[in-house]
């Protein structure tokens, strides 16, 4: 006789386990301690087996019968319901372990060797701050486009439209890594590309014009902040280097100082383009380095500071420019643009300028270049540029 819910609820334990049948192999096993367990007896390839279906009343009589019927369907298709259940359990455990955050950190570890330290740090911090907190704990293979879009929308609401688009691209790279690793089957970032807000026209970093340079140099020399900060800004202006490339400069990277072939050899891992970069040292730059050496003491860095990284912070130089009264008028990166514009206007070879700026070559064929390419010509150009800066600072022309 089929079981009823009233019977299941009121059934009492005995000294020995009791098996009370419901039909079709389904039975309720009542343990001496009072536990009531659903079990399904079945045969597969002539072998008697038992499948656990849950505990009563957490699994109701109706639910137990539904489980029995699904097991029967599997048997009819030649599938062992016990093995099927084990595979589904393993799959769920695997998916639970392969959350978006877990896979993203695995992707990050695989990619960071090709990035500068600063860039890698920014990518990870952005993921932690804006993406992980929304979808980080979700199994990566279950994330749908609306979930990813919700995370991106929260960034857009802050007005960080460019960052939102960048993180959507980064998320897409994580999903594609998961697909290649067999952890996901699709990339939901492709489905939300048209749903993002427009970033608007590209804004170029503010750069000083040639006519503005005399006043800027005068203001820089009169700046009452830390002397190392002034010297660091001068290094950027004279060498065209990026902020991070100057900040993390090491004394061991300099060669032949004091001679006419003085050189700053920056290793590939510190350059944005991931290629070694050579900077000819002019007499003016050597004067800056001489003063920095006195200020840096025994530190291996040219710009040491009591920070986590052991060098001046990322914002030190831009904050100095703001304090000098150049907020919205100039940026550290813009000083590179100022140098490029003036040198181009004075007829210097564009290739020399671009190589000195260490811009990555878009043409893949031309990208593999010798770090010493046009070095004598670049040295002459930088000597002219340092003399020009010195003359501008002294004469105000």
pLDDT above 70: percentage of residues in the chain: 92
Name the active-site residue from 112, 272, 274, 380: 272
pLDDT digits (tens, 9 = 90+) for 335-373: 989 999 999 999 999 989 989 888 755 444 344 455 667
- Residues in Cβ contact with 142 at an 8 Å cutoff, skipping those fewer than 6 apart: 95
Q: Which of 67, 238, 242, 277 is catalytic?
A: 242
* Mean pLDDT along residues 295-319: 91
**One of 70, 261, 369, 397 is an active-site residue; which one?**
369
- Tell me the two tokens of residue 299: 């530190």
pLDDT, average across residues 75-81: 92
State the pLDDT confidence band at 314, using cuts at 50, 70 and 90: confident
3-state secondary structure 163-228: HHHHHHHHHHHHHHHHHHCCCCCCCHHHHCHHHCCCCCCCCCCCCCCHHHHHHHHHHHHHCCCCHH
Asked if the domains 5-85 and 100-195 are classified in one and the same CATH topology, the answer is no
pLDDT band at 94 (very low <50, low <70, confident <90, very high): low
Considering the four listed CATH numbers 3.65.10.10, 3.30.70.360, 1.10.150.130, 2.40.30.10, the one that applies to the domain covering 100-195 is 1.10.150.130
Q: How far does CA 200 lie from the centroid of its chain?
A: 23
Sign of CA dihedral 41, 44, 47, 53: negative
Among the listed residues 228, 270, 336, 379, the single catalytic one is: 336
Asked about 242 being catalytic, the answer comes back as yes
Instruction: For residue range 209-226, list pLDDT tens digits in order.
Output: 888 899 999 999 898 989
Q: Tell whether omega for the bond before 57 is within 30 degrees of 0, i.e. cis.
A: yes
Q: Which of 134, 128, 191, 189 is nearest to 157 (CA)?
A: 134
Q: What is the pLDDT of residues 245-291, one digit of tens each?
A: 999 999 999 999 988 999 999 998 888 777 889 999 999 999 999 99
Q: Which of 25-39, 49-63, 157-171 has the lowest mean pLDDT?
A: 157-171
Mean pLDDT of the chain: 87
Class of domain 5-85: alpha beta
> Catalytic: which of 49, 166, 186, 333?
333
Cβ proximity of 278 and 264 under 8 Å = yes
Residues 85, 265, 329, 359: which is the catalytic one?
359
Least confident of 116-130, 185-199, 361-375: 361-375
Tell me whether residue 359 is one of the annotated catalytic residues: yes
- Does residue 118 register a pLDDT over 70? yes
Name the residue ranges covered by the structural domains of the chain: 5-85, 100-195, 210-395
In 3-state terms, what secondary structure has residue 130? Answer: helix
Give the position of tokens 């501008």.
Answer: 392
Highest CATH level, class, for 210-395: mainly alpha
Q: In what order do the strands lie in the sheet with 277-280?
A: 254-255, 263-266, 277-280
Nearest C-alpha neighbor of 280 from the set 248, 244, 239: 239
CA pair distance 243, 303, nearest whole angstrom: 11
369 is catalytic: yes
| Confidence at residue 363, expressed as pLDDT on a 0 to 100 scale | 42
């Amino acid at each position: 006789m089929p079981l009823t819910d009233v019977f299941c609820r009121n059934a009492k334990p005995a000294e020995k386990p009791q098996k009370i049948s419901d039909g079709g192999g389904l039975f309720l096993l009542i343990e001496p301690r009072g536990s009531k367990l659903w079990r399904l007896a079945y045969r597969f390839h002539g072998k008697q087996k038992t499948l656990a279906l849950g505990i009563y009343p957490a699994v109701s009589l109706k639910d137990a019968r539904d489980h029995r019927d699904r097991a029967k369907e599997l048997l009819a298709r030649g599938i062992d319901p016990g093995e099927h259940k084990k595979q589904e359990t393993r799959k769920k455990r695997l998916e639970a372990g392969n959350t978006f955050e877990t896979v993203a950190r695995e992707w990050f570890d695989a990619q960071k060797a090709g990035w500068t330290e600063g860039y890698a740090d920014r990518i990870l911090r952005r993921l932690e701050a804006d993406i992980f907190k929304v979808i980080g704990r979700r199994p990566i293979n279950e994330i749908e486009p609306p979930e990813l879009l919700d995370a991106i929308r929260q960034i857009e609401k802050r007005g960080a439209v460019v960052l939102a688009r960048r993180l959507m691209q980064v998320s897409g790279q994580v999903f594609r890594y998961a697909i290649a690793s067999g952890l996901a089957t699709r990339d939901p970032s492709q489905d939300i590309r048209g749903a993002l807000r427009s970033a608007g026209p590209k804004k170029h970093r503010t750069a000083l014009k040639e006519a503005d340079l005399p006043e800027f140099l005068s203001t820089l020399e009169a700046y009452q902040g830390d002397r190392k900060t002034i010297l660091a800004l001068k290094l950027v202006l004279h060498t065209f280097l990026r902020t991070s490339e100057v900040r993390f400069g090491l004394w061991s990277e300099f060669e032949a100082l004091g001679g006419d072939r003085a050189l700053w050899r920056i290793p590939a891992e510190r350059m944005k383009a991931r290629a070694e970069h050579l900077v000819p040292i002019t007499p003016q730059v050597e004067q800056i380095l001489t003063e920095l050496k006195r200020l840096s003491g025994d530190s291996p860095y040219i710009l040491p500071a009591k920070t986590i990284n052991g060098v001046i912070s990322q914002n030190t130089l831009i904050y100095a420019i703001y304090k000098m009264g150049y907020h919205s008028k100039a940026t550290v990166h813009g000083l590179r643009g100022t140098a490029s514009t003036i040198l181009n206007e004075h007829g210097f070879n564009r290739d020399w300028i671009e190589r000195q700026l260490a811009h990555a070559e878009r043409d893949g064929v031309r990208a593999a270049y010798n770090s010493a390419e046009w070095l004598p010509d670049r040295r002459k150009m930088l000597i002219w540029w340092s003399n020009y800066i010195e003359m501008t600072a002294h004469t105000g022309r």
